[in-house]
Amino acid sequence: MSWFVVLVIIFLYLLFVLFLGSFAGRGRESSVSEYIAANRNLGTVVMYFLMGGAIFSAFAYLGGPGWAYSKGAASYYLLAYCAAGLIPWWVWGPLAARAGKKFNYVTQAQLFADRFQSKALSVIMAIVSILAFIQYITLQMKGSAYVFEIASGGRIPFWAGALIAYLVVLVYVFYGGVRGVAWTNVFQGAFMVITAWVLGLYFAFKLYGGPTEMFRQIAEAKPNHLLVGPGTGMGFAEFTTAVLVSVLGFALWPHLFMKAYTAKSEKVLKQTIMMYPTFAIFMVPVLFIGFAGIMQVAPDVLGAPDRILPWMFSNMQFPSVAIGLILAAALAAAMSSQDTITHAAGAVFAQDLVEVLKKKKHTDQEATLWIRVSVVGFGAVSYLIAIFGGQTLVALLLGAYGSIVQFLPLTIATFFWPRATKAGAICSLLVGVIYNYLIVLKYVPEFLGIHAGIQGLVLNFIVLIVVSLLTKPMNKEHVQKFVNL
């Protein structure tokens, strides 16, 4: 009956998170600004965990060990991008916060659509964001499903595990808005960090006597596993461009970009950026778990590499209570990103697509209801993809990053290049996104192993510059509102 004890602990955890998230927004006004941006009133600690929950997710807690197990040193890309992911935000994050406060923006596309005076740009950005969001939400659902499947010894099938997590997140995002997301992430973030360090070090010392001996044995048995380059899990170009596309694209994700609007002040925003690299430190023991499993289980026995973390917990004679707590932490990792992305997906659809295309503006209450309804729809679509799709968690994430990084030229042009025009913005974004997906879908071959998103980004910048210089400059007074923020 050990599986029953494990499941009881996991479901008790889910009930607590459901309660915390659902009541976080209780007593607050029913407005778009409150539901999406918490009336621009979140402090440093909440912001830190809100941003951290986005990275310390299923891809990190489950996909990270999976990559360490299957690809070895290639998994170090996660550490690099965790450490440097918010550095670009230091440049334009405070500017976005000022723009949001001054012009009352609550989504990313509202800023760019206003700067380039284009409803079409808002619609295009919404579609690009939604497609990437679906991949990202799918990633978290797959992670949740793995946890339930292994925790129950196969009694809860993959489809049911994903559905349970989806329904819990759906309820507290529906009622709690961004405050529900924020406060559940504070709890789940602290829970994940503690368990990651305890477990990563435990496996290294229990199975090998310490990290040094663990890596020595791996180096002897599988020397290429600890290298990056030809003949290893990842080539040089593939590795470096995976890091680059992740660093450049990280804070451009709409659900993260929009957090610039939730901070109480620019000081809070900058404190969050300075503190954020510590999440890279928290990632180290997570990778230890994957490396520790290399000498313990054969790939054909394990199945999918992303199962290594729950497999290790379930097959090493842990007490049932400990397994329950550990797997609850893995579930927290998946849910802490699923909630913020689901919330943002609803906001983007309602504000950047429906509201823009509709002739008559919604009232605040109507707009908030649209967001909540959208949350349900996107979760359902992502659930179906999670059940019928076959990619690994990290592969799903990298595929989504390739399209989101195409927002970088728009960001730079909005704040720093007055000569950029509407035609240049629209053409460059379309070229970058379409080229990225042509490579991802295998219609265009990869070039020297360079990430599809980086290839699209180069074309994106070229088209932005050329088309902008060939078209009429925009109104100088209008443009200066953004350049002089």
Structure tokens at 28: 């607050």
- State the pLDDT at residue 246: 84
Instruction: Give the Cβ contact number of residue 83 at 10 Å.
Output: 17
Question: Do 202 and 42 touch, CB atoms closer than 8 A?
Answer: no
What number of residues does the chain have?
485
- State the pLDDT at residue 94: 92
- State the pLDDT at residue 343: 78
- State the pLDDT at residue 223: 86
- Element at 429 (helix H, strand E): helix 422-440
Please give the full DSSP string across 103-144, using - where no structure is assigned.
HT--SHHHHHHHHTT-HHHHHHHHHHHHHHHHHHHHHHHHHH
Nearest of 201, 202, 194, 203 to residue 328 by alpha carbon: 194
Between CA 82 and CA 73 the distance in angstroms is 16
Contacts of 316-324 spanning 24+ positions with Cβ under 8 A = 316/206, 320/2, 320/3, 320/5, 320/6, 321/5, 321/9, 323/2, 323/6, 323/151, 324/5, 324/6, 324/7, 324/8, 324/9, 324/10, 324/151
Between CA 444 and CA 424 the distance in angstroms is 24
CATH code, domain with 75 = 1.20.1730.10
- State the pLDDT at residue 26: 67
Task: State the distance between the two ends of the chain, measured CA to CA, in whole angstroms.
Answer: 62
Nearest of 143, 11, 163, 192 to residue 3 by alpha carbon: 11
- State the pLDDT at residue 175: 73
Between CA 408 and CA 404 the distance in angstroms is 8
Between CA 359 and CA 432 the distance in angstroms is 30
Is 263 strand, coil or helix? strand
Whether residue 445 is contained in a domain is answered as no
CB contact set of 380 (below 8 Å; sequence gap of 6+): none
Whether residue 471 is contained in a domain is answered as no
What letter would DSSP give residue 363? P
Whether residue 55 is contained in a domain is answered as yes
The total number of structural domains that make up the chain:
1
CA 277 from chain center: how many Å?
16
Question: Do 83 and 247 touch, CB atoms closer than 8 A?
Answer: no
**Residue 74: domain span:** 2-398
Cβ burial of 220 (10 Å; 0-12, 13-18, 19+) is exposed
Which residue is listed with tokens 């450049």? Answer: 248
Please give the full DSSP string across 23-40, using - where no structure is assigned.
HTTTT----HHHHHHGGG
Whether residue 87 is contained in a domain is answered as yes
Q: Which amino acid is at 218?
A: I
Backbone angles phi, psi at 42, to 5 degrees: -90, 140
Between CA 325 and CA 16 the distance in angstroms is 13
The model's pLDDT over 427-478, given as tens digits with 9 standing for 90+, comes to: 999 999 999 888 877 788 878 778 888 999 999 999 999 999 999 999 999 9
Between CA 391 and CA 386 the distance in angstroms is 9
Whether residue 306 is contained in a domain is answered as yes
Nearest of 378, 334, 375, 321 to residue 17 by alpha carbon: 334
Mean pLDDT in order along the chain per 10 residues (485 residues): 80 84 67 70 78 65 81 85 85 91 91 95 91 77 79 82 83 75 76 81 90 92 85 80 85 86 86 83 84 85 76 74 79 74 82 81 70 78 73 55 90 95 96 89 80 91 97 94 90
- State the pLDDT at residue 235: 81
Three-point CA angle 75, 62, 320, nearest 5°: 135
Cβ burial of 359 (10 Å; 0-12, 13-18, 19+) is exposed
Integer-rounded Cα Rg, in Å, for the chain is 22
